[in-house]
Amino acid sequence: MPELPEVEIYRRYVEKHALRQRIERVRVPDRRILRGVTAPALDRALRGRRLVSTRRHGKHLFVQVERSEWLYLHFGMTGDLHYYSDGETPRFSKVILDFTRNRHLAFEDARLFGAVSLVHEPEEFIARKRLGADPLDETFKPALFRDALRARRGAIKAVLMSQLVVAGLGNLYVDETLYQTSIHPLRPIAKLTDAEIASLHRTIKRVLNVVIERNESNRDLPRSFLTTHRAEGESCPKCGAPILRAVIAGRTTYYCDAHQR
Ligand SMILES: [Zn+2]
């Protein structure tokens, strides 16, 4: 399931391939992917225009259309982007932008948990969804994170999953962050020290940056990452204790009971 790092890779993919080309038309092979916009309205908003810039906030991707609204892409569980020239239309294409010179950008989604829409202003969207800060944005400062976290109640894993304090973390990288900071997923926010909160802030950024870099260069994640040991019978790469599995915050959680406290 795409989390922030995967959506950041998609953002770079759009930047690399799909900007500054005139859109000849928009095809919608499956309109169930559309949210709050009809296929003709989407075509009208994009036809004859160019994509000019991108913005990501958490797992949400916005692509600015010249003299128009922003194209909004949400990848759900199985969303994917495919830029191609001529040839075969990707199998699970839900929306296809046809550019001049027979180039195409397809938004694919086999399971339809994603969404394609138009938004007036990303800021307005972010405020309406009450999304927390994007952890790779320069506004994500230690004090901002600490205050936002201290304003919430409950267990750390559930709060980090909620998107209200930090936007973009999902099950996998919340587990990774807690593992790397030696904090138990069920620890109440009220029991975190300021030093632990500072460590969480640093670690969130570090984990996401490592995942983005490794994804981009097609390398595996480090063996010191919990993410590479998410299976029963695995041992903790830090202390050798068995990795445990439990359902926490409604999600399958892996952690080390020996060093995460
Ligand atoms: Zn351990």
Average pLDDT over residues 152-168: 97
Distance 30 CA to ligand 1 centre (A): 46
pLDDT band at 93; cut points 50, 70, 90: very high
> Which pLDDT belongs to residue 185?
98
Identified catalytic residue from 2, 5, 135, 185:
2
> Which pLDDT belongs to residue 44?
97
Average pLDDT over residues 155-182: 98
> Which pLDDT belongs to residue 1?
83
Distance 259 CA to ligand 1 centre (A): 4
User: What is the percent of the chain where pLDDT is above 90?
Assistant: 97
Give me 82's structure tokens: 């495919």
Distance 196 CA to ligand 1 centre (A): 17
> Which pLDDT belongs to residue 88?
85
Average pLDDT over residues 238-242: 97
Average pLDDT over residues 162-176: 97
Average pLDDT over residues 156-169: 97
Identified catalytic residue from 5, 6, 11, 59:
59
Average pLDDT over residues 16-27: 98
pLDDT band at 55; cut points 50, 70, 90: very high
| Choice between 13 and 86, residue whose per-residue pLDDT is larger | 13
For residue 152, give the amino acid letter.
R
Residue 87 clears pLDDT 90, i.e. is over it: no
Average pLDDT over residues 128-134: 97
Give the other-Cβ count within 10 Å of 91's Cβ.
9
Known catalytic residue: 141? no
Identified catalytic residue from 27, 146, 150, 251:
251
Distance 194 CA to ligand 1 centre (A): 22
Distance 230 CA to ligand 1 centre (A): 13
> Which pLDDT belongs to residue 57?
98
> Which pLDDT belongs to residue 86?
81
For residue 164, give the amino acid letter.
L
User: What is the percent of the chain where pLDDT is above 70?
Assistant: 100
| Per-residue three-class SS string for the chain | CCCHHHHHHHHHHHHHHCCCCEEEEEECCCHHHECCCCHHHHHHHHCCCEEEEEEEECCEEEEEECCCCEEEEECCCCEEEEEEECCCCCCCEEEEEEEHHHEEEEEEECCCCCEEEEECCHHHHHHHCCCCECCCCCCCCHHHHHHHHHCCCCEHHHHHHCCCCECCCCHHHHHHHHHHCCCCCCCEHHHCCHHHHHHHHHHHHHHHHHHHHHHHCCCCCCCCCHHHHCCCCCECCCCCCEEEEEEECCEEEEEECCCCC
Query: What does DSSP say about strands 70-74 and 115-119: parallel, antiparallel, or unpaired?
Result: antiparallel
> Which pLDDT belongs to residue 232?
85
Known catalytic residue: 2? yes
Tell me how far apart the alpha carbons of residues 106 and 90 are, in angstroms, rounded to a whole number: 7
- Helices 194-216 and 4-17 pack at an angle, to 10 degrees, of 40
Query: What does DSSP say about strands 115-119 and 251-256: parallel, antiparallel, or unpaired?
Result: unpaired
Tell me how far apart the alpha carbons of residues 165 and 142 are, in angstroms, rounded to a whole number: 12
> Which pLDDT belongs to residue 201?
98
Known catalytic residue: 3? yes
Distance 255 CA to ligand 1 centre (A): 8
